Each structure stands twice: as C-alpha cells, then as structure tokens.
Amino acid sequence: MNFNQLGLSAGLLRAVEEQGYSEPTPIQREAIPVILSGRDLMAAAQTGTGKTAGFTLPLLERLGERGRGVRALILVPTRELAIQVEESVKTYGKYRPLRSIAIYGGVSINPQISALRRGVDILVATPGRLLDHATQGTVDLSSIEVLVLDEADRMLDMGFIRDIRKVLALLPAKRQNLLFSATFSDDIRKLARGLLHDPAMVEVARRNTTAETVAQVVHFVDRHRKRELLSWLIGSRNWRQVLVFTRTKHGANRLAEQLERDGLPSAAIHGNKSQGARNKALADFKSGKARVLVATDIAARGLDIDQLPHVVNYELPNVPEDYVHRIGRTGRAGNEGQAMSLVCVDEHKLLRDIEKLLGRELPREAIAGFEVDPTIKAEPLQKPRSQQRNAKPRSHAPRDENRPERPAGRRRFGGGKDNAGGNRERRAARSR
Ligand code: AMP
C-alpha cells in the first residue's frame, strides 16, 4: 500500500514524499481513513509508530482552506512534544495555507498572544498554558472542529485530568475527537467514554514490547568504570549521535561534563533546565554539534529525534516500563537501532525486573578490558520518592540534585518569571 491510496490530496502527498516516506506505517494506514471519514477515534500507538503524521495528515486534509478562528486543537503533555508536533504540522502542511502555533508554558506568553491575534487554524498546546490564555481571553476555542489528545496516558500521569476537563468545557459540543495513548488504563478508558462518540478503535503496538529492529545488549561493568567504558564505546565505534540515560538530573549534568573532558561534545537535558536551555541542547544534538545527549527519563519523553542509531542506558531506570520508553528512541519507523545497557552490581534486580516485563533475557556481551571485579559488593540504589514507603507529596521539598528525578505527577515546571501555567500544573498535580 502507498500513500496515494489513502485519500490525501496532492499537496499533502508531496510533503510526505519530500520526507522520504515510501509507505504509510500501520497506524497511518488504519487511522487516516477513519479520521478523513469524520469519525471519532481511539488509537493505541506509542511514540515511534508514525502516529503524529497519522493524525496530522488527515487533519490538514479535513480543514482544507484557511478558516476563521481556531479549528483544530492538539493537546499534548509536554513542551517538547508541543514544539515537535507543531513542527510536524508545518512540515506536512507545507503546501497548505493553514497556520499553526505551539502554545506551552515556561516561556513568555506575549509572543503567543500576538500570534493568536494574527490568527491560527491549528493550535498545539499543553493544557496549563492553554487555560492561561483562555482565562485571559486571548484564545477563543468556540470554533474547534477537531480535538486531538496526544499521549493521553502521559497527560493523566502528569496530573492534567482536571485541566483537560476544563479545556473540554470550552469546546463546542459538536466536534471530532481523536485520542492517542500508548496504554489503556482504567483512567484512560473512563476519559474516552466521556469524550468519544462511537469511536473506531485502532491498535498497532502492544504494550511493553520493544521494536524488533532494535538490537539490545547488556554490558556488565563496575560502577566506577561506567564512564570510561561509555567513552571508549563511543570513541572506538565512532558513534556520532548517542542518547544516554541517567537516573538523576545531577548525574546527567556530571556525565555530560565528564564526556566533554574526554573530548566528546555533549549536552544534558533534564527537568531543572530552562526551556531555552533544553531547546538548545536538543538543537545542538540534532545538528550534530553535540555527539552525546545525556537525558533523564522525564526530560526524554516525547523527544522525536529522527533515526537515532544508539541509545545507552548508563543507569537502568527504576521503573521497568521506562526501559521500553527509552529503547523506543531508537529503531523508529523501521530504522535499525542499537540499545545497550551498562549494568553494575547494584542494578541486577532492576535488570531482572526489566527482563520479566519483556518476557525474555537480554543478550550479554563482555567487553575485553572491562571485566567485572567480583569482590565489589552491591550498594543500595536510592529510590524515587514515589516508590518509598509512606511517600507523601511535599509541597516544599528541599532540592536534592542527587535524588532521582521526581515522577511526572509531581514534576516542577517552569521557573521563569512567566510561570502562571507552571503553578497551575503544580496545583493540579498536587491535588490529585
Ligand atoms: P511518531 O510516532 O509520530 O513520533 O513518528 C516517529 C518517526 O517516524 C518520526 O521521526 C517520523 O518522521 C517518522 N515517520 C512517520 N511516518 C513515517 C513513514 N510513513 N515512513 C517512515 N518514517 C515515518
């Protein structure tokens, strides 16, 4: 099957061709005709399946010519995703007259207000900042024809359910609704029941499976020799673009600095960095200026980096599902990828949990010169607060850079002057 058979018009097909896509991915094959027919949709699709084009292309087709007022709203959980989805709207809509904008917190609201005033057809937004605009009367959502909830499961994880409900209350009752989620928890189903009318169901990727195009391997190594091994792997195998995961923000910074000292241009991305710094790190990595991007799990969510060849788990994640998310950064849409985990004696239990989730053992590979010293004993790993017994949310948690990054629900946003959305997001998270 090729894109010509999906009912998309010439301008969209041309844009797709320019992206070099030869055939639609499974989610695109299934979702595009449903969306074009005007029906509601509930889709199970993870990042990396081509879901963004799966909803953006038919959305652009349906909107047709430029209209009056905002006609499509795409709600996303994170700023990075807002930026990336809006870039996709621009890419695929290159030969369409439609105007789009990304609306997210942590940056000044004024340029967003000016852009909204000039007029947009498609809005890609995080819930908190969108509500700020709605409260100030700088956005009018009364002419929305299509609503997309992208990565709905993450939005719920991040405590956005109340904000989502507030947004829904501002939309006209008659509209098309599209819900995309990697997983279908009871909460998602509940949201879907209240939102979707007679939806078509599409499922393309099962939960907790990793792409077959990703070669996964475990290297056992001593705790204190991980960095040395990483630098050696990158240098000797001449990797040009490597995404590396650490468990803590401080660990991400420190590792990026150490790799720099080893002569490997590196950038770090995590929740304590300003939006500007995160955008710059990502841009440097995409352009090749930085060979290594060191990231924490939360910061890496939704990152779309084309054809990422190598992912390294410098430290295993505390939550086994995060391993699947991390690996999802490579081998996307049919490209081959490599994922390796550097595992020290402290992390054997984490590895067992991951393998249990995957239902198989990951292949081990010994690296000459980095043999494990059997006399080194395991030390306990610090757990994130959410997994500690009797963990209570603290409203004024002292900043501890060594602590693993907080789970998304209690994530701190913004930090800039213009942080109204961030406060709201925090309140929403706390009140769950
Ligand atoms: P997504 O799941 O939307 O995050 O997309 C994952 C990646 O797949 C993006 O980098 C897209 O550029 C790419 N992609 C989307 N559709 C196709 C396609 N039909 N063929 C090849 N790559 C695609």
Cα–Cα distance for residue pair 112/138, rounded to 1 Å: 9
> Is the CB of 84 within 6 Å of ligand 1?
no
> Is the CB of 50 within 6 Å of ligand 1?
yes
> Is the CB of 333 within 6 Å of ligand 1?
yes
> Is the CB of 332 within 6 Å of ligand 1?
yes
Mean pLDDT: which of 133-137, 239-243, 372-376 is highest? 133-137
CA 179 from chain centre, in angstroms, equals 16
Q: Which atom of ligand 1 is nearest to the CA of 22?
A: 20
> Is the CB of 330 within 6 Å of ligand 1?
no
> Is the CB of 286 within 6 Å of ligand 1?
no
Give the residue, by CA position, lying nearest to ligand 1 atom 19: 24
Q: Are 51 and 179 spatial neighbours (Cβ–Cβ below 8 Å)?
A: no
> Is the CB of 49 within 6 Å of ligand 1?
yes
Distance 245 CA to ligand 1 centre (A): 22
Q: Which of 270, 256, 255, 215 is nearest to 237 (CA)?
A: 215
> Model confidence at 331, in pLDDT bands (50, 70, 90)?
low
User: Which residues, 6+ apart, have CB-to-CB distance to 357 below 8 Å?
Assistant: 208, 320, 321, 323, 324
Give the residue, by CA position, lying nearest to ligand 1 atom 16: 50
Give the residue, by CA position, lying nearest to ligand 1 atom 21: 21
pLDDT at 158 (0 to 100): 84
Distance 189 CA to ligand 1 centre (A): 26
Q: Are 413 and 419 spatial neighbours (Cβ–Cβ below 8 Å)?
A: yes
Residue 396 has pLDDT above 80, yes or no: no
Tens-place pLDDT, residues 128-167: 999 999 999 999 999 999 999 999 988 998 889 999 999 9
What's the rounded mean pLDDT across residues 296-318?
A: 79
> Is the CB of 24 within 6 Å of ligand 1?
yes
Mean pLDDT: which of 91-95, 233-237, 364-368 is highest? 91-95
Q: Are 57 and 28 spatial neighbours (Cβ–Cβ below 8 Å)?
A: yes
Instruction: Output 199 or 413, whichever has higher pLDDT.
Output: 199
Give the residue, by CA position, lying nearest to ligand 1 atom 20: 21
Distance 158 CA to ligand 1 centre (A): 25
From 3, 19, 32, 87, the mutation candidate for ligand 1 (largest count of ligand atoms within 8 A of CB) is 19
The fraction of the chain above a pLDDT of 90, given in percent, is 56
Residue 182 has pLDDT above 70, yes or no: yes
Residue 385 has pLDDT above 70, yes or no: no
Q: Which of 62, 24, 30 is nearest to 44 (CA)?
A: 30
> Model confidence at 417, in pLDDT bands (50, 70, 90)?
very low
pLDDT at 306 (0 to 100): 59
Distance 88 CA to ligand 1 centre (A): 10
> Is the CB of 373 within 6 Å of ligand 1?
no
Beta bridge partners of 75: 125, 149
In this structure, the number of other CB atoms found within 10 A of the CB of residue 38 comes to 11
> Is the CB of 304 within 6 Å of ligand 1?
yes
Global pTM value: 0.58
The full set of domains in the chain, from first to last, is: 3-203 (3.40.50.300), 214-358 (3.40.50.300)
DSSP codes of every residue in 41-93: EEEE--TTSSHHHHHHHHHHHHH-S--SS--EEEE-SSHHHHHHHHHHHHHHT
CA distances from 124 to 264, 344, 392 (A): 35, 42, 34
pLDDT at 394 (0 to 100): 38
pLDDT at 426 (0 to 100): 42
Distance 381 CA to ligand 1 centre (A): 36
pLDDT at 192 (0 to 100): 94
DSSP codes of every residue in 351-412: HHHHHHHHTSPPPB---TT----TTPPP-PPPPPGGGSTT----TTPPP-TTSBPPPGGG--
> Is the CB of 8 within 6 Å of ligand 1?
no
Beta bridge partners of 237: none
DSSP codes of every residue in 298-322: HHHTT---TT--EEEESS--SSHHH
Give the residue, by CA position, lying nearest to ligand 1 atom 18: 21
Q: Which of 249, 243, 251, 406 is nearest to 326 (CA)?
A: 243
The amino acid present at 64, given as its one-letter code, is G
> Model confidence at 303, in pLDDT bands (50, 70, 90)?
low
Cα–Cα distance for residue pair 276/66, rounded to 1 Å: 31
- Token pair 């007679």 is found at 198
Distance 426 CA to ligand 1 centre (A): 32
Give the residue, by CA position, lying nearest to ligand 1 atom 5: 50
